[in-house]
Structure formats: structure tokens, C-alpha cells
Amino acid sequence: MNMNAPYSWTEIVALVLISNLCLSTSYQRTETRPQVCMLCSGSVRNHTTVDRFCSWSAGRIQGRCCLRNDSISDPERIIGLDLSNCSLTHVENLEGASTVVMIDLSLNPIVNISDTVFQGFGDLNFMILPPHAVCPGGNTSWEKVELKEGNLLCEGQKNMCNQTGQPSVYCPENSLCAPYGPGCYECGCAEDYYGYKCLRQGNFPALVVFGPLAAATVVISFLLWVTQRRKAKSL
Ligand SMILES: *[C@@H]1O[C@H](CO)[C@@H](O)[C@H](O)[C@H]1NC(C)=O
Ligand SMILES: *[C@@H]1O[C@H](CO)[C@@H](O)[C@H](O)[C@H]1NC(C)=O
Ligand SMILES: *[C@@H]1O[C@H](CO)[C@@H](O)[C@H](O)[C@H]1NC(C)=O
Ligand SMILES: *[C@@H]1O[C@H](CO)[C@@H](O)[C@H](O)[C@H]1NC(C)=O
Ligand SMILES: *[C@@H]1O[C@H](CO)[C@@H](O)[C@H](O)[C@H]1NC(C)=O
Ligand SMILES: *[C@@H]1O[C@H](CO)[C@@H](O)[C@H](O)[C@H]1NC(C)=O
């Protein structure tokens, strides 16, 4: 085997597979005031969970959003989003809301929540969904999932990097595991490494993987198998 070839076709295919499981949006974050606050008319409803959370956090309500800045120099960010009773059937794009802590999607005829919509939503810690919906990333991505007062509550986002106590199993060498929203984790290359499995030196976007963990494990196992096989061959 030509040792200069950076990676084989099998590995490239595997990499593309992995990347597509969790479309990376990490380097597309926008600072502009997102349209998400105007996704439907009205503003955060009075006396709801998001409204109370906003008052408690000393936030400012604009449209359907609760905004706050941690310091004068920081731009305001969305911490709460009340999209309840918005006639939403699909939830596909909440661009600009990746800093949100609490989302209310109750009272919507939701039929589909895209798997990728909450990628990068690392602070998301409380969701209110219609009863028949599924918490993003599945029940295993949350500390607690319960049906309460006719709504489904997803509480406490789990850190996928800690799931089985062995994060390094999932991220390749020279990379660090970081949470990347419900059911997602990101294998960011360690400093000075980039590219496939962080085998190259330099600076390059990270590899993002989406759970359910089982699916990711299958792909990673496949990757490990490919590498092991290659190692065995080159001996
Ligand atoms: C919400 O509360 C504010 C002040 O407490 C009041 O001015 C406003 O009319 C209320 N909005 C609705 C929709 O009840
Ligand atoms: C956030 O900071 C800006 C100044 O940069 C200020 O005008 C605004 O009132 C602040 N918002 C909150 C909610 O403190
Ligand atoms: C939902 O919105 C409709 C109008 O768009 C309104 O008539 C209804 O009272 C709202 N329901 C709740 C629970 O706020
Ligand atoms: C939900 O949307 C995804 C793509 O975002 C699609 O693959 C899937 O078939 C949809 N499911 C339903 C029940 O519409
Ligand atoms: C997730 O948890 C909810 C609430 O406990 C439950 O109703 C639902 O069936 C669970 N879903 C799965 C796939 O286990
Ligand atoms: C994940 O692991 C870190 C360090 O081992 C620990 O500080 C953190 O509390 C863990 N988080 C969870 C959600 O278990």
C-alpha cells in the first residue's frame, strides 16, 4: 500500500457518511437578529413557562423570543423561544436560535421535527412539545422525559460525550469530544490537527456525529474495523 496516500476510498466514503449523519452548522452561526422571533405573529405569551423563565433571567421579550446579553459588550442572544400555538407542522429551521435554553412548541399540529434542526443547540435544556412528538435525539438524549398536563417535556440535555464513560471510544485520536445539541456530539480536532480523523496537521472544521448512539457506534465500529484492517495489512 502506498503510505503517502492520506486515506483510502473506503475511508472517504465512511467520512462522508458520518458527516451527513449530522450536518455541520457550527461555522455558519449568524449574529443577525433571527427571523425565528417572527416565525409566527404575537409575542411570548404571558404567564407561560418561557415568559416566567424570561422574567427570572432578566431577559427582554421581542416577538416570540426572550433575549438577553450577559455583558454590555456581548450581543444579545436568544435564551427562550415560545413557538406555541403557531400552527407549525414541520420544525426544520430555527437558525439563529442555537443559544436557546428553553423552547415551547406546544399546541402545534407537529408531524415532523427534523433530526438536524437542533444541532449545535448545546444550551437547550427544556422543551415543551405536543404529546405525540418525540424529544430530539430520542429519550436517551435527555435526563428526563415526561408527559405532563397534555404536553411532552424534555428536560436536561444529556452530554453525549459522557454517555458510556468512555468518550474517546467515539472520537478519533487527536480529537476532542464536545456536546453538539441533543443526541449529537462533535469530534473537534485537537490543536494543530485537521482532516480525516485529525490525521493531518493544521486547522480545519470538526467532524460532527449524530446519535442515536447505536447508529453512530455502528459507523464508528466500521471505521475502526477499516483502520484495524489497514494496520494489519501494513504489518
Ligand atoms: C401581557 O402582560 C402585559 C403586562 O403584564 C400586558 O400589558 C399585556 O396586555 C399582556 N398581554 C396579553 C396578551 O395578555
Ligand atoms: C444589551 O446590550 C445593549 C447594548 O449593547 C443594550 O442596549 C441592551 O439594552 C442590552 N439588553 C439587555 C436585555 O440588557
Ligand atoms: C391559539 O391561537 C388562536 C388564534 O390563532 C386563538 O384563538 C387561541 O385562543 C389560541 N390558543 C391558546 C391556548 O392560546
Ligand atoms: C420527516 O422529515 C425527514 C427529513 O427532514 C424525512 O426524511 C422523514 O421522512 C419525515 N417524516 C415524516 C413522518 O414526514
Ligand atoms: C419516551 O418517553 C415518553 C415519556 O415517558 C414515552 O411516552 C415514550 O413512549 C418514550 N419513547 C420511547 C421511544 O421510548
Ligand atoms: C461529563 O464529564 C465531565 C468530566 O469528566 C464532568 O465534569 C461532567 O459533570 C460530566 N457531565 C455529565 C452530564 O455527566
Q: How far is the CA of 135 from the centre of ligand 1 (A)?
A: 31
Please tell me the predicted confidence (pLDDT) of residue 160.
Answer: 81
Q: How far is the CA of 79 from the centre of ligand 2 (A)?
A: 14
Q: What is the number of the ligand closest to the CA of 122?
A: 6
pLDDT at 213 over 70: no
Torsion angle, CA of 77/138/13/15, rounded to 10 degrees?
40
Question: Does 135 map to a domain?
Answer: yes
Residues shown for the chain: 235
Say if residue 42 is in the same domain as residue 105. Answer: yes
Q: How far is the CA of 3 from the centre of ligand 6 (A)?
A: 39
Say if residue 59 is in the same domain as residue 80. Answer: yes
Say if residue 167 is in the same domain as residue 82. Answer: no
Say if residue 127 is in the same domain as residue 230. Answer: no
Q: How many domains are contained in the chain? A: 3
Mean pLDDT, range 226-231, rounded to an integer: 50
Say how many Å lie between the first and final Cα of the chain, rounded.
11
Query: How sure is the predictor about 112, in pLDDT bands with cuts at 50, 70 and 90?
Result: confident
Does ligand 6 have an atom closer than 6 angstroms to the CB of 163? no
pLDDT at 57 over 70: yes
Q: Name the least confident of 1-5, 61-65, 150-154.
A: 1-5
Mean pLDDT, range 14-25, rounded to an integer: 39
User: Nearest C-alpha to atom 9 of ligand 6 is from which residue?
Assistant: 162
Mean pLDDT, range 12-19, rounded to an integer: 42
Range of the domain at 230: 210-234
Say if residue 104 is in the same domain as residue 181. Answer: no
Say if residue 85 is in the same domain as residue 185. Answer: no
Nearest partner of 150 among 162, 164, 133, judged by Cα: 133
**How many whole angstroms from its chain centre is CA 46?**
29
